[in-house]
Every structure is written in structure tokens, then in C-alpha cells.
Amino acid sequence: MTTLVWFRQDLRVTDNPALTAAARGAVLPVFILDDTLPWAPGAASRWWLHESLSSLGSELSRLGASLVLRRGPALTVLKSLVAEAGITRVVWNRLYEPAAAARGAEVKAALTARGIAVESYNASCLAEPWHLPRPYQVFAPFWRALQERGEPSQPLPPPLRLVPAAAAARSETLSDWKLQPNKPDWAEGLRATWTPGEAGAAARIDAFCEVAPGYGRARDFPGEEGTSRLSPHLHFGEVSPRQVWHAIRARVPDADIYLRELAWREFSIHLLHQSPTLPEEPLRSAFADFPWRRDPAQLRAWRHGRTGYPIVDAGMRQLWRTGWMHNRVRMIVASFLVKHLLLPWQEGEAWFWDTLVDADLANNAANWQWVAGCGADAATYFRIFNPVLQGEKFDPAGAYVRRWVPEIARLPNAVLHKPWQASAASLDEAGIRLGDTYPRPIVDHAAARARALAAFNGIRAKAA
DNA sequence: TGAAATGTTGGGGCG
DNA sequence: ACGCCCCAACATTTC
């Protein structure tokens, strides 16, 4: 019997339940690129996907099977592969995004009707949505319910070897998919920052375990290497959450602060599962006709890190260059877009979707809604980050801003986060001409704050 | 996983 | 010595 393993967002051989279930007999591993689904991967994700598939292909070859690559709607592709290779059984690990889950259900029904054995597994949740007693809109009880299930089970070992399918199946080549940029090749910063693939993910866990005891403090300082940076590896399933959970538990004392963050990831997955329109519509309907502004010039300034607020610009440039942004700074730039600029959170969501290597539909949507105040357990509307104070508090020595906004690096710490308050002499000495070599603030903080409070007050009046 | 405004307290300078 | 004021420093309230 030959089993087709449909790889999706589980690009690993260790702790892969579908692969393990298939590995008792002959295996045909397949990845299908389906750009007909909504929210097709953005540019940064496509770069990562290329690298990750390349890595998975090597891993599978090493074990004795070769990865088949195909494009098209999953069901169409799977039907033809089943016919081509004499497949009698198809297995995969489940996804929870609305379109992907619907695709899985469609495939399951159609293949079952043709007499094919079909099985799906959980590979990317600590608890699948239907494992908890009820749906949650608030994180605290969600986290409690998750903990009450006890420790997750132990990860599965990788298969020792794989028996390849007797009948070969045609594969497309990765380079034909053109997932990577060429003209221009903007991926230099990504290559310099990341090692996509299962081995890279394992190395990242090892590196994080070294610094994880300091996580509770260090995670808030973007100039330090205090966070795990596991998000893209988790998104593509190069590592499973339970592998991370057990690695941290075994090696880090007092790991709960970090494990809680894994639970936030899970919380978002559950929210999207409950509310399929989460990426498009505000969860709280009072926000349906919120008076968002339209301002292409300011949106462009935000995207490219030219707002005149150093901590915001640093974050946006780190994102553009490396495909990733420190979480503390994500909150600052998101708050700035939504509150200071009053631009729709969907605009920020779309930009992050295209530029983040860890772009994940559930996490991206849930977190943007959280910042905008229209989501689950959302930040209250009057919580408006002051980009100057946030910079001074979390980047006091200026390491982060100086790295990503080099044109103001020579400013003294006292004004680094507010160049417009620097004296003429001090600007001169630092080689800065405000409005020329570095922008003046595109909005005044106090005025923008007052405007946001007024706009968000309208929501409160409506909800009451 | 805020910030700003407002209120309170207590030490110290000063007449 | 005493009352008065100033104002950090901290606490509370409000947005």
C-alpha cells in the first residue's frame, strides 16, 4: 500500500503525525502550491516557503523518498496523483484557517467517495478548537482551560527511513515556481537573518534556550536578542508547538512566561476558527462604521519608515529588511497606524501580510484587531502608545534605533527618540537636516492623541 | 502588553 | 520655633 502524504504547513519530518502514520508502508510525499485560495502567501512568505521546501526535500531524500511538487487546486492535483501513482490512502495534518479547512473537508469527502482511505491529524495545535470545553473570547480563561488539559503529549521521533512509492510521480521544480525575488533581489536581509527549515528551527530553539531564563525581562527590549524568533518556523510547521513546549520545559526554569506566548498563538488560531471573517471584519460590530481616514501619503510614510518617530521608523525598516519585527515594536507601530494616523487596521494587516516571514492569517488578524480595539480581549481604546516614551523606556541606550535608522545614529541619547527637540547645534553635529535627511514627525503626538480619543469615544458611546 | 491629568504627601528653604 | 510655600515623588483617576 502506498500512502500519499499531503504536506501543508507541517514542513518537517520530526513530530509529524501524518508522515509517521504513512511511514509503515510506501510513501509519496507531496506539496501543493495553491494560489487559488484567498490570502495567498505574501512576498516574504514565498521566499521562506521556497527555502523551507528545499530543506524538506533534502530531509525526505535523506530518508529515502522524494518530495513531489505540484501547483493547482488541491483536489484536482490530488485526484490526478492518486491515479498516476496508484495511491490507496491519503493523509495530512489539519489546518484551521477557514479556506484551508474547507479545502481539507472537500478533499476528504471527494477522496472517500472514490474509495480512498483518508486520515488527518493534529500537528500544529496544543489543543484543537474542539478540544476545549467552549469557545473563548478572553485570553485568561482560555489559558486556564489550556493548562487544565495538562502537559501536551511527547513529540514523535522522525521516521528512521522511508520506502518510496513504486510508481514515480511527475514533480515540478521549485525554481519554476518563482517564489524568490530576482529583479530586484531584495532578499539579502532575509538570507542574512534566517535559516528556514527544520534544522534551522532546531538551532533556533537551542539558541533561545540559552537566553530564555532572562526572557521575562529581555523580551521587551528590541535592541537585545531576548525573544525566541520561532514564529516563522512555527508558521511553516518546521517545528511543532509541542516540540517547543517540551524543549523549553526541559531546559528552562520558570518557563511559563514564554509558554503563555505559545498560548496566544493558539488563542488566535481558535479565534479565527470561531470567526471566519476575522481577517476582514472587526470582531466587535460597533467598529463597522468607524471613521477611519484615507491618506495614501501617510500610509506610504508608515510603510517605509519615514514617520519622523525613530522607534516607529526603526521597526518598519527592520521589517522591510529582515521580514520580521520585534514584538514590542509591532505594538508600537500598529498603535501608531491605527491611533495616531487613524488609518484602517486592515491596511497594516495587509502590509504585514506581504512583508513578514512569519505572516500567519490567524495571528496577524487577531493581533491587528487587538491593537485596534475591535478584537477579542482587545486593548482599551484609550491605550495609546507614546512613541517617544516607548522608545526611551524600551530602547534607552538607543541600540535598536541606531541600527535601523543610521542617519540619526549620532544624536545623543537624550534626544534620539525625539530629534525635533534637538538643538540646532546638536542636529548639526550629528549631521542631520530635519525635513531633509530625516523627516519631521508626520503628525504631532498630542494632537493625534486627542483626535484618536475623540474618534474612539464615538465607539464607546455606541456600545453603551 | 499606557499616558496624562489630577491628587496627596512630606521634606526643606525661607521669612 | 513656626507657618508657609514650593515641588519632587508617589498615588489615584481619567482618558
Task: Report pTM.
Answer: 0.97
- Which pLDDT does position A464 carry in this prediction? 46
Q: How far is the CA of A444 from the C1' of B6 (A)?
A: 24
Q: Which nucleotide is nearest to A332 (CA to C1')?
A: B1
- The pLDDT tens digits of the residues spanning A341-381 come to 999 999 999 999 999 999 999 999 999 999 999 998 887 88
- The pLDDT tens digits of the residues spanning A120-157 come to 999 999 999 999 999 999 999 999 999 999 999 999 99
Annotated active-site residue A368? The verdict is yes
| Backbone dihedral region for residue A115 (phi beyond 0: left; psi -120 to 50: alpha; all else: beta) | left
What single string gives the DSSP state of each residue in A372-386?
Answer: HT-STTPPPTT----
Check whether A463 has a pLDDT greater than 60: no
Mean pLDDT of A282-299: 95
Q: Which CATH superfamily is domain A1-121 in?
A: HUPs (3.40.50.620)
Contact A319, A325 (CB under 8 A): yes
Annotated active-site residue A261? The verdict is yes
Any strand C atom closer than 7 Å to A382 CB = yes
Annotated active-site residue A264? The verdict is yes
Question: Do A285-463 and A124-155+195-276 fall under one CATH topology?
Answer: no
Bases along strand B below 7 A from a protein CB: 1-4
The CATH number of A285-463, from 1.10.579.10, 1.10.10.10, 3.40.640.10, 3.40.50.720, is 1.10.579.10
Check whether A251 has a pLDDT greater than 60: yes
Q: Which of A39, A327, A386, A407 is catalytic?
A: A327
CA of A141: how far to CAs of A96, A128, A257, in Å?
Answer: 21, 16, 16
Annotated active-site residue A327? The verdict is yes
Bases along strand C below 7 A from a protein CB: 15
Annotated active-site residue A420? The verdict is no
Third-level CATH fold of A124-155+195-276? 1.25.40
Annotated active-site residue A6? The verdict is no
Q: Closest residue by Cα to the C1' atom of nucleotide B2?
A: A383
| Nearest CA-CA partner of A82 in A46, A118, A49 | A118
Q: Where are the domains of chain A?
A: 1-121, 124-155+195-276, 285-463
Residues by Cβ under 7 A, strand B: A 139, 261, 264, 327-328, 331, 379, 382-386, 389-390, 393, 445-446, 449
